A and B are shown apart, each in its own frame.
Chain A
Amino acid sequence: MSERKPAGSNEEKVPLGQKLLDQPFLLLVAGIVVMLAFYTLWGLAEILSLRPAPLP
């Protein structure tokens, strides 16, 4: 279930992408920020900027 590694891989430089993916709290913050920015706060701004409809 794991990827095969060549001999001597312990000394291999870990790629930047892998380093980022190994940071669960970074992913947590990114997930929360993206959702809050695009869905929640933008959505709130849309609703709160609605002008009241004139009553007939």
Chain B
Amino acid sequence: MSATLESLAQRFRRCPVTGLQVNRDSELLIQANAVVAVVAMLVGALAAIGLVLTRWQAVHLLPADQYYRYLTAHGLNMLIFWVIFFEMAVLYFAGPVVLGCRQPAPTLAWGAFALMVVGAGMVDWMVFTGNADVLFTSYPPLRAHPNYYLGVILFAVGALIAVSLFFASLVVAKKEKTYSGSVPLVTFGATTAAIIAVITLLHGAAVYIPTWLWSMDIGNIDPEVYRMVWWGLGHSSQQINVAAMVSVWYLLGGLTVGGVVLNEKVSRMAFVLYVLFISMASAHHLLVDPGMGSAWKIWNTSYAMYLAVLASMVHGFTVPAGIETGQRLRGYTNGLFEWLRKAPWSDPGFSGMWLSLVIFGFMGGITGVTLGTEQINIMAHNTLRVPGHFHTTVVGGTTLAFMAVTYYVLPLIFRKRVAFWGMARLQPFVFGGGIVAMALGMIFMGILGMPRRHWDSSFAGSPFPVELPPASELVQVLFGVGGLLAAVGALMFIAIAVVTVFFGKPVTEEAIKAGASGIPQGVLKLPAQVHTGEVAERQHREGVKGTVVLVAIFFVCFIVYYFTNWKMLSFLWKVG
């Protein structure tokens, strides 16, 4: 009996900062997935530099074949490998660690990790050896080497096993009574991400297994069916990001400033709206496809998608409102925005999270809803506006949020002090600023008519003349400089993460007491996580005036951008 207890005790440690019971198996899985995620980001970021310097026509660096190869590698490493490896780390944290239970089937979990690594390695090998110049979407009749599709399938199977183990951890924790009542909101958000991951991976299996067979001359592929099913994977995979990112916002709000969840019911219902409706937004990739009818398009991209947009707007209000409440409870009560001015901006966990929230909401949300409108989509489809939009959601939103939480994962899970602390404090601003400039450049280039996925922005040698306004050259500079700045920000993050993991100084209780460099302020002194008493009651009654003003500004921006697009549409289709 005592040997069993001793063995159990050795598998767990109590985090001195958060008080969480952390099991060693999950901790190692989090570390391994996070490290591979950063490696994938390095590959994707290096490819991004080549792409930026090619689409910036004044430089036009790469030849055509290399451009499409790098574009394929960039899409896969950033949109799939970086984010999904990191999301697996989030699931191992939000399940067994937050719930304080053991890791279910640790050997199987390592098997899943190995499958994902082998699959990702096969895909990158095929791409960089020129056997898969098919871009991220690999639309038929473009055909890659069979091992490319096999690599994707192995990666997806590994991810599906890891997601299943997250659900298993929910069962284990409930059965072994490691928590009471409902799971914490962070775990509920991760459950949402896991459900969307299952939807995504089912569509992935449905599309990649027949395509793998087709690549070996077995069977046939209908391009329209492929497009429809593939986007059930391609877009839904980015909705896993959204749910995981929102969970990270709530987590960091609590860790950095003692952010309050204003209303658990409202936040959880918003996550349920994601579960039910967000994946259907995949249809907006098919808005100009002739095979689908208007009813299908309008239901999936308007009525249903707007329910998911409503969920994002709920989180877009409750997260900053919770932060405002937390800050006001810490004494920053003057005026509308003292809570924001005196927020811990030198903590990259806070600054990255806040920038992620603003970039995702103001740029990603507004441009996304506009692009998802069937009539407006006809102007924007296949132009640079589309990647301009998703670089503000997936990169400015998700990636920046994941970078921000890494500054807390390093001291709390790796138990290392963040290296190059001065650079780390600057990094979210460099990366976020670069992404904003680059995405604005892409959006304006798209509005001026510049297509996406095109090697030569000057259309030299085109069989018919293509003239773009001279202003497009100016916004190319904005795009190029912004893209390079974002790449510098990404490389700063990678350098910080790698040096911290392999050479970082350990986080000790003495270092925390001494306020040592490289430890975020939320770890040095965790803000109060539970607020009770008269002060808390009064604050709830007084409300969140600052956030209400921010939300009003958001709606004004939304209305102006949305109606500007309808005005532009009226120039295309003159009525009367």
Contact = CB atoms under 8 A, between A and B. Distances in A.
Most chain A CB atoms below 10 A, which of B279, B304, B531? B279
A28 B291 contact: no
Nearest to B170: A24
A4 B532 contact: yes
B167 A39 contact: no
Contacts of B22: none
A30 B192 CA distance: 12
B198 A38 contact: no
Nearest to A5: B181
Given A25-B167, A35-B280, A46 B291 contact: yes
B159 interface: no
A21 to B, nearest CB: 5
Given A31-B279, A39-B283, A24 B532 contact: no
B196 interface: yes
Interface in B25-68: none
A55 interface: no
Interface residues of B, number: 53
A42 B296 contact: yes
Interface stretch (B270-278, B438-446, B468-476): B270-278
A46 to B, nearest CB: 5
Contacts, number: 99
Nearest to B188: A21
B264 interface: yes
Contact of A2 (B167, B202, B261, B299): B261
Interface string B153-191: 000000000000001001000000000001111101001
Contacts of B196: 31
B191 A34 contact: no
B261 A31 contact: no
B529 interface: yes
Contacts of A32: 195, 198-199, 202
Contacts of B532: 4
A50 B291 contact: yes
Nearest to A21: B268
Contact of B182 (A21, A25, A38, A40): A21
A40 B282 CA distance: 10
B229 interface: yes
Interface in A11-35: 17-18, 21-22, 24-25, 27-28, 30-32, 34-35
Interface of B: 167, 170, 182-186, 188, 191-192, 195-196, 198-199, 202-203, 222, 224-225, 228-229, 232, 236, 250, 254, 259-261, 263-265, 268, 272, 275-277, 279-280, 282-283, 286, 291-293, 296, 299-300, 304, 529-532, 536
Given A31-B198, A44-B225, 14 more contacts: A1-B261, A1-B529, A4-B531, A17-B265, A21-B188, A27-B192, A31-B279, A32-B199, A39-B282, A39-B283, A40-B229, A40-B232, A46-B292, A47-B222
Interface of A: 1-4, 17-18, 21-22, 24-25, 27-28, 30-32, 34-35, 38-40, 42-44, 46-47, 50
